[in-house]
Amino acid sequence: MKQKFKLCLQLFLTFMKIGVVTFGGGYAMIPIIENEITDKKGWIDADDLLEVVAISETTPGPIAICSATFIGYKIAGVCGAFAATFGVVLPSFVIIYIISLFLRTFEELQVIKYAFFGIRAGVLALLIKAVVSMFKKAPKNIVAYIIMAASFATVAFFSANVIIVIVSAAVIGLAATLIAKKAGKKL
């Protein structure tokens, strides 16, 4: 029991450290997890780490939360999952809560207004890069292309509800996969 508590505490501290040093979140976290959890602690091996990435991608929610919960659970059960997830969330929570208290006042400063004018154009480029990298990871077949185009058009031009779009995409993807399987064809 005491052993387990100690392990959970270690998980909490390690994931808190990961939460502090990761900028950009998600995938940026994976190499740091590898360094801390696989190389230093030896808690999971490199194969497990690949599994962590795969499971985080196939389950909903932020990559950081999914991977912390999964690794914590593998190492020390539900207590470990809780410790790791709490650890990874805590630093961002504290930092952003403090920022939220003064961001609006800060944004009134002329120098910050100029800075954000420039930044917004930079953020647009960051978003386009996200589209490019998501596209690289997406399946490349006719069904996938139709879903991409339809999701874009319905949301951009008809302000469709995002939940409905996401659920429909999952259903269409599933239906297409089942039909292709039945016909013995590859999509």
- Residues 73 to 92: which contact other proteins by CB under 8 A? 73-74, 78, 81-82, 85, 88-89, 91-92
Nearer to other proteins, 2 or 61 (CB): 61
Residue 112 neighbours by CB under 8 Å, 6+ apart: 106
CB 18 within 8 A of CB 36: yes
Minimal distance, residue 60 CB to other proteins, in Å: 5
- Part in contact with other proteins (CB under 8 A); list of ranges 7-15, 34-42, 97-105: 97-105
Residue 108 neighbours by CB under 8 Å, 6+ apart: none
- Say whether residue 118 binds other proteins (CB under 8 A): yes
Minimal distance, residue 37 CB to other proteins, in Å: 16
CA distance 96 to 103: 10
Minimal distance, residue 82 CB to other proteins, in Å: 8
Nearer to other proteins, 40 or 124 (CB): 124
Q: What is the dihedral of CA 175, 179, 185, 187, to 10 degrees?
A: -20
Residue list 136-175, contact with other proteins (CB under 8 A): 137-139, 143-145, 147-153, 155-156, 161-163, 165-175
CB 151 within 8 A of CB 161: no
What x-and-dash track marks residues 14-33 binding other proteins by CB under 8 A? -----xxxxxxxxx-x----
Local structure of 34: helix, strand or coil? helix
